[in-house]
Structure 1
Amino acid sequence: MRRARIVAALAAGLLLAGCATVPDESQPVAVQHQELGQIANPDVQQPPRDIDPLTVVRDFVEASAQPVSNNAAARTYLDDAAAKAWQPGKLMNVIDDQFNTVYAAGSDLPANPSEVVVVVRGTALGRLAADSSFIPSKNPYELRLLVRKQADGQWRVTNPPANIVMPYSEFTANYVRVPIYFFAQDSNTIVPDLRYVAGKPQLGLPARVVSMVLSGPSDQMVGAVHSLLPDDAGIEGNVTMTPDGALMVPLTGVGDQTPEVKKLIAAQIVLSLQAVTTSRVRLLSDGNALVPGHEDWLPSDVPSYTSLASPSADQPGLMVVNGRIRSLADGSAIPGPVGQGAYDVTSAAQSIDGRQLAVVDKANGREQLRIGAYGAAAQQVDLFGGTLTRPTWRPTATADGTAGEVWTVVDGSSVVRVLRTPDGGWAGQAVNAEEVLSVGQISVLRLSRDGTRAAMVVNGQLMVASVVRTQDSVTLRSPRILQQGTLSGVVDVDWLSQDTLVAATTLPSQPVVKVPIDGLRMDTFNSSNLTPPVYAITAAPGRPIIVADDGGLWTASDVGEVWRPHPHSLRAHAAPFYPG
């Protein structure tokens, strides 16, 4: 019932939005019956006359990225029967822009001289799932299409694919990336879930975003985040612009929620809409203000729900140098045993609040974990392994505000979360990482600072998985290799923001890269001043990125910047890290 209400309301909203935009459109589009695929508006631009079958297929693939009016542009490349019958599925394949259309060869070709088989060959970059999230997977792609000469002499496709295929550039031109916001499972930390929404008709874009918020998290994030909207929440009427310039979102089914929950619902919707509108958002519940006394919202009206996931400005970061921990602020050794050489530290992590340290030190030919307060002695936690990855802290989730969970990987094959015990000690528990370990051993693991995802280096590849928690287990689920086949030799990774990673590699052509968590694209940083290989990297929201190579530490804030020497760069082998 909930989905039916949403679909019915949004369908009406899109119809109104489409009518409103007709006078402003530079090109008319076809209006079609959604079930039969019939073109009711003959003014849709037709293909050029007398184009050959290879061009017909190429243009069909490129036009398939335009979802307006039930893919009206793509249907013009189909024969009449196919244009009426084609009902593409919800999955959409995205391929590289460099693809080929060639005539098929072999013995199974049609005998009819008015028919040819055209093969589309390219590289699949991934697919847009039914929940509108992008799932990366780099594989060869091939599609065979039968093209027939019509009575008027024009070639047309007769067997369009069950799932749409489109080139990358056409996909990014026609779909808008929108972070849809939900909350971490056990805290009020808000978390983005990247989705892709059809960009036209533009006036219907906010309605499509609201629909995604109501539909809940993507499949990958189910169990890692949750929505504060109840299952029976919906839209009463249309998402429309009011005469005074506000975007009205008339919710229903949320009136029984507490005032605090209503504020969290407002945060979900307003922050999700900020990618597609700059208007005030008027949130209504059964005709009244969702939050009494606060009818209209801007993103700036939403309180910060990421404070637990962001290091404060007074935490400058640290670095491991020659077995000791030093401050990134002034290069001095920090107080306590870890700064004074009592332990042979190989890697370390500082809790987001800065009050605790987890360090890996080397003793008797093996590595061991120690956890303690900043500046104090650290307790040894025996994890019964020879090697440990650099530790990473889960954000604070305890009543007293003290972080109580550290993750590491033992011998590349056992993911362990170390929990604070009631007596103040620490004990390890296994994390179910079977899906990740089926790909290979883990050399780096970094929890996102909101605790809902893990970024990893697995066999030199960059991978992201969701962190799903139940009452009695924690699982790394739905792992995805980012930029598979393009990005290799990865040696370190960190979270630049909640939805963006930066990674260091051994490749001279791309020593440092930036990748969104869905892996759709990759940006390579300027390599000027760096001396590959880069062996360590750290990043955090609002902080400069710091990398380490044989020349010391270097900083930059964006991909186009030239790397600058860090003020306290040391020639010795240094490994920098921000809290998290």
Structure 2
Amino acid sequence: MGADREGSARRGPARAVAYAACGAVLLGGCASMPDSGDLRDVESTPRQDTQVRVFAIPPQQDASATEIVQGFLEALTSDDPNYDTARKYLTKAAAKTWQPESQTTVLANGPSIQTDSRPVNREGDSGITYTFQGSRVATVDAQQAYAPADGAYRRTVHLTKDGKSGQWRIDSLPQGVVMGKSDFQRNYTSVDKYYFASDTSAEETGQPVAVADPVFVRSSVDPTTQLVRSLLSGPTTWLGPVVRSSFPTGTTLKKGVSGLAPDDQNRVTVPLNVKASRIGSAMCNEMATQLLFTLRNLTPTVESVAVQSVSGAHMCDANEEQAETTAWRASTKRPEYLYFLDAKHRLVRMATGGSGTTGAVAVPGPFGAGTKPLRSVAVARDERTAAGVGSDGRALYVTSLASDGSLGNAVLTSHGATEDDRLTAPSWDARGDLWVADRNPAKPQLYMLAQGVGQPLAVQIPELNGRVEDVRVAADGVRIALVVEKDGKQSLLVGRIERTKSDDQQEVSVLELRSATPGSEEVTAMSWAGDSRLVVVGREQGGVQQTRYVQVDGSTPDGPAPAALTGVLAIAASEDDRVPLVADSQDDGIVRLPSGDQWQKVVKDGSAPVYPG
């Protein structure tokens, strides 16, 4: 698996030839594997153009045990929809019990293979055992959910000779599939499917809030149908407790349906089974909205979705405008302004569609008037209210962005001894709730203020191991990103927000924290930059500071990283990717990055840039 062994050479000639014709590639025996006890690497298929289909070839007559194992591994990386070719390398009994969809294990390089035993002509086991080894990078489970992983991978496969044909076949193997990182990147693509926050709505409109649930689908194996099946099967286990689906339980595609694709009008028709036959128009519209948001994430050219009953009757449909009327989705809400603090620590703003040169003006109200010098700020999603932390980091204030607004008393006060032991920058979600952390070592705590007013509610984080240094809540209000410091290292963790009521008292918890930046030693700044994507400034052990995008599940999205920028102190992004990144650079002040361009200076004397959220 040469693409997974950067800079390595093949250890021997390939045992078969790869053919390319009519947009297809046939793979057979492209791996190099020893016949003796040496430990060597299986070389992966080189990365192919995304339009090229890759097919494996079945086992050859009188193939050796070595060739059977290498052919099987190559078949796992092909575009065979049901792994039918891979099953031909197994005995009939093993082919029936093997479940390749149960899990995909991703290794840093292609699996190394070792054999310690040779076939022997004696009673008992006359087979041969091979061991697959490697360094784990990630796993994708049966729900198609990605999770970073580490540690050693070591599994065995056993081969025997078929009693009738005398051919070597695999009769014992681990469930799932295994492949190197390069083959995984060629075979799979990350896509968001969409559900609705189960107990939240966008404050301004009362609409249900769409929540992205990232999964990986095989990119050349009918991905549209795969994705619709995944959407209908329900949310992943991690997200499930805080979202709902409008599809009735048991809803599936109509029996026999496959090959879903846009027609010549970029419309996708989705036929459903009988479970979806007796629903009202409002629920059907929500179903169509879930489908449209999901399919546009895979194929942006999709313009509409039609839902069809089991009998073929039209039930409902949705285009982009109708879907946005039905549900609130952060990535479709372009912010009106970019906000930051000027040299006098006042809150100023400039239109997001500006030219990039400073045209910032003070916001209406106390924050713009400089009544209270600020250290950090957050602007509500409706851009009518702002929260700010005073210049010493001690007090949090909330005020209207209106000329007649008043400052009032602090809504939260920290008693930390130093500025760095006091309040973090605040953050708003779409329902209008405000989040902030107190870094006071004597009483570190994450707080939530419902609608930005009232008594701060202490948020429970039972799995937290360290101190929260930065907080960014997702617009959907059900996910939160936290920079957590422990023993001098900062990691970026994403947690699930759960709200419950007990004796008329609301309780809020952040559960099942998971790393979004495995391997990072220092996270300097971060911001949500999409429905399931964040932009992060940090460095790995021994590395230099860099800015990159990460998915909430810890995977790395396709596409280039932002242009390099040194000395980044803070970064701001919008879920709407049409809006440029903005950063606070130690050397250049406030700078912005238009799409496909280089960083441009906005203003030298400024700090703490933010978009609404």
Tell me the TM-score normalised to structure 2 length. Answer: 0.73
Paired residue for 1:500?
A: 533
Q: Distance in 2 between matches of 1:378 and 1:414?
A: 23
Q: Any conservation in 2 of the 1:355–1:374 contact (CA below 8 Å)?
A: yes
C-alpha distance 318-25 of structure 1, shift in aligned 2 (>3 A): closer
Q: Distance in 1 between matches of 2:369 and 2:184?
A: 55
Q: Distance in 1 between matches of 2:111 and 2:310?
A: 54
Whichever residue aligns with residue 599 of structure 2, its letter is R
Paired residue for 2:448?
A: 417
Map 1:82-161; keep pairs closer than 5 Å.
82-83=94-95, 85-88=97-100, 90-96=102-108, 98-103=109-114, 112=120, 117-146=129-158, 157-161=170-174
Deviations 1:222-243 (A, max 9, x none): 1222111222544444436799
Find the residue that maps to 1:270 and give its secondary structure.
helix
Q: How many residues align?
A: 514
Shift in Å at residue 484 of structure 1? Answer: 0.8
C-alpha distance 524-415 of structure 1, shift in aligned 2 (>3 A): farther
Matched, 1:564 2:593: no
Bigger shift: 301-310 or 173-182? 301-310
Whichever residue aligns with residue 145 of structure 2, its letter is S
Matched, 1:490 2:523: yes
Paired residue for 1:469?
A: 499
Whichever residue aligns with residue 409 of structure 1, its letter is A
Paired residue for 2:183?
A: 170
Matched, 1:346 2:375: yes
Map 1:268-283; keep pairs closer than 5 Å.
268-274=290-296, 275=298, 278=302, 281-283=305-307
Whichever residue aligns with residue 283 of structure 1, its letter is V
Q: Any conservation in 1 of the 2:534–2:552 contact (CA below 8 Å)?
A: yes
Matched, 1:331 2:360: yes
Paired residue for 1:215?
A: 233
Whichever residue aligns with residue 570 of structure 1, its letter is K
Paired residue for 1:8?
A: none
Q: Any conservation in 2 of the 1:214–1:234 contact (CA below 8 Å)?
A: yes
C-alpha distance 66-160 of structure 1, shift in aligned 2 (>3 A): farther
Q: Distance in 1 between matches of 2:288 and 2:175?
A: 38
Deviations 1:94-137 (A, max 9, x none): 222x24514367xxx67959765543332222211222211222
**Among 256, 259, 284, which residue is 2:308 paired with?**
284
C-alpha distance 83-244 of structure 1, shift in aligned 2 (>3 A): closer
Paired residue for 1:394?
A: 429
Q: Any conservation in 2 of the 1:446–1:454 contact (CA below 8 Å)?
A: yes
Matched, 1:456 2:482: yes
Shift in Å at residue 284 of structure 1? Answer: 2.1
Q: Distance in 2 between matches of 1:357 and 1:313?
A: 14
Whichever residue aligns with residue 543 of structure 1, its letter is V
Q: Any conservation in 1 of the 2:285–2:318 contact (CA below 8 Å)?
A: no
Paired residue for 1:302?
A: 323
C-alpha distance 301-370 of structure 1, shift in aligned 2 (>3 A): closer
Higher RCO structure, 1 or 2 (CA under 8 Å, sep 6+):
1
Find the residue that maps to 2:286 and give its secondary structure.
helix
Shift in Å at residue 161 of structure 1? Answer: 1.0
Deviations 1:554-580 (A, max 9, x none): 22245xx4532233x2246x1211110
How many percent of aligned residue pairs carry the same amino acid? 24
Whichever residue aligns with residue 515 of structure 1, its letter is V
Q: Any conservation in 2 of the 1:311–1:353 contact (CA below 8 Å)?
A: no
Q: Distance in 2 between matches of 1:238 and 1:153?
A: 37
Q: Distance in 2 between matches of 1:53 and 1:479?
A: 44
C-alpha distance 51-374 of structure 1, shift in aligned 2 (>3 A): farther
Matched, 1:550 2:586: yes
Q: Distance in 2 between matches of 1:575 and 1:334?
A: 15
C-alpha distance 325-228 of structure 1, shift in aligned 2 (>3 A): same
Q: Distance in 1 between matches of 2:64 and 2:570?
A: 53
Deviations 1:345-381 (A, max 9, x none): 2211000111111111145xx6221111125314302
Find the residue that maps to 1:303 and give its secondary structure.
helix
Whichever residue aligns with residue 112 of structure 2, its letter is T
C-alpha distance 243-273 of structure 1, shift in aligned 2 (>3 A): closer
Q: Any conservation in 1 of the 2:340–2:347 contact (CA below 8 Å)?
A: yes
Find the residue that maps to 1:566 and give its secondary structure.
strand
**Mind listing any 5+ residue stretches in structure 1 that lack a counterpart?**
1-23, 30-42, 397-402
Deviations 1:520-566 (A, max 9, x none): 225663544x33x31210000121001222122222245xx453223
C-alpha distance 382-261 of structure 1, shift in aligned 2 (>3 A): same
Deviations 1:150-184 (A, max 9, x none): 89998654431123222233333333433211112
Shift in Å at residue 251 of structure 1? Answer: 4.6
